[in-house]
Amino acid sequence: MENTEIFDVAIIGGGIVGAATLYKLQLRNPDLKIVLLEKEDRLAGHQTGHNSGVIHSGLYYKPGSLKAKNCVKGRHELVAFAKEYGVAHDVCGKVVVATNESELPFMNKIFENGIANNTEGIEKITGEQVKDHEPYVEGIAGIWVPCTGIIDFVGATEKMAEVALAKQPESKLLLGQEVISIDDKDNEHVIVTDKTKIRTKKMIFCAGLQADRMARKDGVKLKEKVVGFRGDYYELTDKAKHKVNNLIYPVPNPDFPFLGVHFTRMTNGEIECGPNAVFTFKREGYGKTDFSFKDTFNALGYRGTWKLFFGNMKFGLNEYRRAFSKRLFLKTLQTMIPSLEMDDLKPGRSGVRALLLGTDGDTRDDFRIEHTENSIHVLNAPSPAATASLAIGEYIAEIAEEKFDLKLSVKE
């Protein structure tokens, strides 16, 4: 059944970036009629709802990059938003721990990044000072990052949408609406979902794991492809929770495109350990044996995937072994907390991260947002996108106002 309403803007994707875009665009332009479409029956059903819940500081990102600028700006906004609207959070701080001499040069580099990115309050600390924060951790040096925290990202996503919709009663949230195709008709777009047709003047795509597919549906010529990597977590049992106060991170390996296995206290009081990073045979598959022929063929038929595999063969094999071996996972965790034992761990949840891969196997590390005459596409929004979501939403809103003449159309 076709919806006879016509919206000024349709936002496709109800993760935290889509919700933040709705929030920013609606508050800046209260008269706009906006519809947010999400294919699941709830918001934040994929990357947002399966990440580690960390408010990132801005320590790891290249100075001047979109990640660096938006992480720091977005972090301040996110914490203020959480305080104003009662979203569960805690700016508890974290330690980054070096466990051997070979890690010190890169530890110093990320510290310099943090200084350049205005990550407030960070300081280098000794191994003994690490123990002041996390008594069970063994390390030779570290970085104390007081502005890192934890948050309920699902709750934040839901609240952003709620506040935006309260601002404009004619705007809508449509859940359970998977976009099948997009048709152009008489200076407007008809978005065909599995349930209805939505008419809109402009479109903004925040589709996460499906970003490349949505871009192609919109006629964007995109060379890269999204490839999914699953991250598995363990949780500490009650008898071991006292061994972690807040957040404990290793010094990341600069040759590997992930931050490494870490410890995170969640807002519900649980302590998560992880994630690893393994290729997933289903983009939205959270089980170790989940499989989609379409997703697997799409990824393994792409030259960039094999380039990434061959360039990270040793790391990849280690990650896979660890995915199926609790003992190996424990051994990795013991590099920071040697006193952990097998019965301190119980299986936890999993998440899938979307990586935009070039044909050369390069992970497009920075945020990537592009626009056409009538649409904006968030093509790459890896971590710290959740932390940076409000800053990204504002950035998108500014592009939309300029490229879509939204303020002009509102005045008319």
Q: Evaluate if residue 409 carries a pLDDT over 60.
A: no
Q: Evaluate if residue 411 carries a pLDDT over 70.
A: no
Q: Residue range 118-133: average pLDDT?
A: 97
Q: Evaluate if residue 21 carries a pLDDT over 60.
A: yes
pLDDT at 1: 57
pLDDT bucket at 293, cuts 50 / 70 / 90: very high
Cα separation, 272 vs 237, in Å, equals 10
Instruction: Count other Cβ atoms within 10 Å, centred on residue 380.
Output: 24
Percent of the chain with pLDDT over 90: 85
For the chain, what are the domain ranges? Answer: 2-48+154-222+366-411, 225-235+269-363
Q: Residue range 105-129: average pLDDT?
A: 96
Cα separation, 39 vs 379, in Å, equals 18
> In sequence order, what are the residues at sequence separation of 6 or more whose Cβ sits closer than 8 angstroms to the Cβ of residue 386?
16, 17, 47, 48, 51, 153
What CATH fold (topology level) applies to the domain 2-48+154-222+366-411? FAD/NAD(P)-binding domain (3.50.50)
Q: Residue range 361-385: average pLDDT?
A: 92
* Cα four-point dihedral sign 297, 302, 306, 309: negative
User: Which of 30-44, 81-95, 126-140, 173-187 shows the lowest mean pLDDT across its residues?
Assistant: 173-187
pLDDT bucket at 64, cuts 50 / 70 / 90: very high
| Contact (Cβ atoms closer than 8 angstroms) between residue 240 and residue 344 | yes
Q: Is the pTM of this model over 0.85?
A: yes
Q: Residue range 323-336: average pLDDT?
A: 92
pLDDT at 33: 97
Instruction: Count other Cβ atoms within 10 Å, centred on residue 88.
Output: 16
pLDDT bucket at 410, cuts 50 / 70 / 90: very low
Q: Evaluate if residue 297 carries a pLDDT over 90.
A: yes
Q: Residue range 198-203: average pLDDT?
A: 96
Cα separation, 265 vs 241, in Å, equals 9
pLDDT bucket at 36, cuts 50 / 70 / 90: very high
pLDDT bucket at 407, cuts 50 / 70 / 90: low
Average pLDDT, the chain: 93
Q: Residue range 67-96: average pLDDT?
A: 97
pLDDT bucket at 363, cuts 50 / 70 / 90: confident
pLDDT at 316: 79
Higher-pLDDT residue of 5, 167: 167
pLDDT bucket at 2, cuts 50 / 70 / 90: low
Q: Evaluate if residue 412 carries a pLDDT over 50.
A: no
